[in-house]
Amino acid sequence: MDKKYQNRKQAGLVETMCASLLVLPAIFTTTSVVLARPLIEADKHLSQVPSSDSSNQAPSNTSTSPLNPRPSIFNEPPYNRSQGTSPTDSNAAPTTQPTPGAITPPLPEQQTPSAIATPVDGKINIKLINTTNSVVSYQVIGDTNQRFLSGDSNVTLQNIQTPVTVTLSRQDNGLVKVSPQATLEGLLEVTLDKATSLNEDISTMIVQQDGRVLLN
């Protein structure tokens, strides 16, 4: 009996092992199917594109691929401010606009001289003749302090280096008319008289190095 019992026990073990081998492939197959289905569903979800009314979507000329360095959103406001602007030419010369209302005074070389004297060795004598019947103050800029010349009198300023500027004004705040005249070589006679209009009023006389006399 022991021998028969052992034979039956061995036959039972063999049947159990065969059953186990048949069940394991089924388990692996079922598990693979279960794991594969979520991956397939996820892949389907990613590949689906939500459908919407095309009229509500802004046109896009740029691919939305993650590898695209410039997504389509940069073609929409406010990122598209630079569109339609022309490149700046770095070689273009800058332009300057005149200031409205600006007045450019004439250069001394452009002004018509009132007289032309003849300096000697770059120097000149200036004779001031006052006919205004009032005191006239004068000053040779850089050579003399302010001086005064009474009415109906004259004074000669000698060896004045050119170019030179002489300022003139009446002590009674009246207008001064200045009439320069070159009489002799190295001499300039200047008559000071009453002016009747602002256009005739002169406060500065300039003798340039070449002898041209300009009044301002």
Question: Position of tokens 């800029």?
Answer: 141
Q: What is the pTM of this model?
A: 0.50
Q: Which two tokens stand for residue 164?
A: 């030179």
- In this structure, the dihedral spanned by the alpha carbons of residues 131, 175, 149 and 143, taken in order and rounded to 10 degrees, is -130
Structural domain includes residue 87: no
Convert the pLDDT of each residue in 35-93 to its tens digit: 445 545 555 554 454 544 444 454 444 444 555 555 565 566 665 555 554 545 555 55
Structural domain includes residue 200: yes
Q: Exposure string (b/e) for 66-101, b if CB count within 10 Å is 16 or more? A: eeeeeeeeeeeeeeeeeeeeeeeeeeeeeeeeeeee
Q: Cα separation of 105 and 57, whole Å?
A: 65
Number of domains in the chain: 1
Residues constituting the chain: 216
Structural domain includes residue 96: no
In sequence order, what are the beta bridge partners of 201? Answer: none
Structural domain includes residue 79: no
Residues 6+ apart with CB under 8 A from 168: 136, 137, 138, 176, 178, 192, 202, 203, 204, 205
Q: Which two tokens stand for residue 153?
A: 């009198």
Classify residue 121 as left (phi > 0), alpha (psi -120 to 50) or beta: left
Q: Which domain holds residue 181?
A: 111-215
Structural domain includes residue 6: no
Q: Exposure string (b/e) for 163-198, b if CB count within 10 Å is 16 or more? A: bbebebbbeeeebbbbbbebeeebbbbbbbbebeee
Q: For residue 214, is pLDDT > 50?
A: yes
Q: For residue 114, is pLDDT > 90?
A: yes
Convert the pLDDT of each residue in 120-139 to its tens digit: 999 999 999 999 999 999 99
Q: Cα separation of 184 and 216, whole Å?
A: 24
Q: What CATH number is attached to the domain comprising 149?
A: 2.60.40
Structural domain includes residue 208: yes
Write down the pLDDT at residue 122: 95
Structural domain includes residue 62: no
Convert the pLDDT of each residue in 174-195 to its tens digit: 999 999 999 899 999 999 999 9
Structural domain includes residue 102: no
